[in-house]
Amino acid sequence: MEKKILAFGDSIMKGVVAEYSPSSKYAMKYDICPDNFVESCSKIFKRKIFNFARFGSNIAAGKKYLERNLDKICPGDYVVLEFGGNDSNMDWKAIAENVSGDHQPQTTLRDFRDIYNSIIEEVVSRGGIPVLMSLPPIDAEKFFNFVTMGINGDNIMTYLGGRVQYMADWHEKYNLEVFKIAADKKVHVIDITTAFLDHSNYGKYLCDDGMHPNEAGHQLIFGAVRDYCCALGVC
């Protein structure tokens, strides 16, 4: 049976790009980048790619999607996993309304680690080869402007301790956890973070919301994925 690649992740794996809507200053327009990194990879890889990524998916949702498709994983298939961005995100509207409340991310770091480990174990049990992807960094200033549209940005700034950069620092905790998980489970991890950090103004590779890679950002990811996978003999 021909070996294949199965991809599970969120909107980044899906190829979503975002820009401010021309019809409303408080709305973001989302679309699929036709030259997203998965599409670019599909043109050069020797294995067929099945993309099961979902917009807005966190690690818990990703586990459900994977379990529904476990029967599609055959021995020797690569299973690429890209999660963490949504997991690290907060309910910014709730923070804006009550800055002193008990606010938690979509997924706590401990739950993120535990669920990710269980996904890896399920993939291995089917004979699949797990491949984790790190996260692109976020542009804290763009992201702050995005999440504060139409709500009390002053309260969010108070929550951040007056440091917009704390948004990027918090997101990076989940990115570092991806590398730790890969090291602990002894599985592949593709470092796409460095492809962005190699550029002093990496924000130009991110969309208006500061978190989704734009078309140029997808080409950065494609380069990192291509180089890693070609070393594995996949392309």
Q: For residue range 59-99, what is the model confidence (pLDDT) as tens digits? A: 999 999 999 999 999 999 999 999 999 999 999 999 999 99
Q: Which CATH number fits domain 4-91+107-138+171-232: 3.40.50.1110, 3.30.750.24, 3.40.640.10, 3.30.930.10?
A: 3.40.50.1110
Across 21-35, average pLDDT: 82
Q: Select the more confidently predicted residue: 199 or 25.
A: 199
Residue 71 per-residue DSSP state: G
Across 32-51, average pLDDT: 94
8 A C-beta contact, residue 35 and residue 92 = no
- Residue 1: pLDDT band with limits 50, 70, 90: low
| pLDDT at residue 71 in the model | 94
* Distances in whole angstroms, Cα of residue 76 to Cα of each of 3, 61, 72, 190, 234: 6, 24, 12, 18, 12
d(CA 24, CA 15): 23
pLDDT at 128 over 70: yes
d(CA 162, CA 207): 24
Pick from 233, 168, 220: nearest CA to 191: 220
Encoded tokens for 207: 């969309």
Tell me how crowded residue 68 is: count the other CB atoms within 10 A of its CB: 10
Give 219: exposed, middle or buried? Use CB within 10 Å, 0-12, 13-18, 19+. middle
